[in-house]
Chains A and B, each alone.
Chain A
Amino acid sequence: DSGVTQTPKHLITATGQRVTLRCSPRSGDLSVYWYQQSLDQGLQFLIQYYNGEERAKGNILERFSAQQFPDLHSELNLSSLELGDSALYFCASSVTDARWNTIYFGEGSWLTVV
């Protein structure tokens, strides 16, 4: 158990819909990262928050947004969903940034868009 909690574990939704994925980081971790894992793209970095502020942005679509709340949990919002958004979405956390710190992954949220 990494200490990072993600909900829901599985989600099936229709194209055009909007979903919210939730992440609780390990106790004491200030940074939260979101990754998308798919067979064709591999593990892609989406976005990072540190203590409530956006710190780094990766290959995140404009239809996707995220935030980190004062209690440090984070949410990833995916809207106008397309079939290609079907993937495993990981949240990870670390004490500060990931320069040499270990980042701890949750078990992921499986999103299926039909």
Chain B
Amino acid sequence: AQSVTQLGSHVSVSEGALVLLRCNYSSSVPPYLFWYVQYPNQGLQLLLKYTSAATLVKGINGFEAEFKKSETSFHLTKPSAHMSDAAEYFCAVSERAGGSYIPTFGRGTSLIVHP
């Protein structure tokens, strides 16, 4: 079974600082990888996804992620944090289950942004 591991349940940055949220995957085949964000009292929404077209994937709100096969990583970055980026971030891998594909989510990383 494929899985993702998010390093760090909480990441704290100052406004304007670089955001780096880590995600490592385990997969024996090329994975389909996703980053989702969950704002307080809301459902998850897609930030970006990797489907093998390009290793550097750009998403919404200035976020991007780079797929590195050699490191089995798909870390999420943003050059400059904004207060509105404070949320829970989930890395996910699409996993074969039954006759379908299902996103399997990591435990999440809470991003805290200080003024």
What residues of chain A have their CB less than 8 Å away from a CB belonging to chain B?
2, 4, 31, 33, 42-43, 45, 48, 50, 55-58, 90, 92, 97-100, 102-108
On whether the beta carbons of B99 and A55 are closer than 8 Å, the reply is yes
Task: List residues of chain A with CB within 8 A of the CB of B107.
Answer: 42
On whether the beta carbons of A103 and B101 are closer than 8 Å, the reply is no
Ranked nearest first, the 6 interchain pairs of A and B with the lowest CB-CB distance are A105-B43, A56-B98, A99-B101, A56-B97, A43-B105, A55-B100
A11 to B62, CA, bound (A): 36
On whether the beta carbons of A55 and B98 are closer than 8 Å, the reply is yes
On whether the beta carbons of B100 and A107 are closer than 8 Å, the reply is no
Q: List 6 A-B contacts (CB under 8 A).
A: A4-B43, A42-B105, A43-B105, A100-B32, A105-B45, A107-B42
On whether the beta carbons of A2 and B100 are closer than 8 Å, the reply is no
Task: List residues of chain B with CB within 8 A of the CB of A55.
Answer: 98-100
Q: Separation in Å of the B98 CB from the closest CB of chain A?
A: 4
The A-B contact count (CB < 8 A) is 69
On whether the beta carbons of A99 and B94 are closer than 8 Å, the reply is yes
Task: List residues of chain A with CB within 8 A of the CB of B46.
Answer: 102-104
Chain B 90-115 per-residue mask, 1 if CB under 8 angstroms from chain A, else 0: 10001001111111111110000000
B51 interfacial by beta-carbon distance below 8 Å: yes
Chain B 35-55 per-residue mask, 1 if CB under 8 angstroms from chain A, else 0: 010000111111001010000
Task: List residues of chain B with CB within 8 A of the CB of A98.
Answer: 94, 100-103
On whether the beta carbons of A45 and B102 are closer than 8 Å, the reply is yes
On whether the beta carbons of A108 and B94 are closer than 8 Å, the reply is no
Q: Separation in Å of the A88 CB from the closest CB of chain B?
A: 9
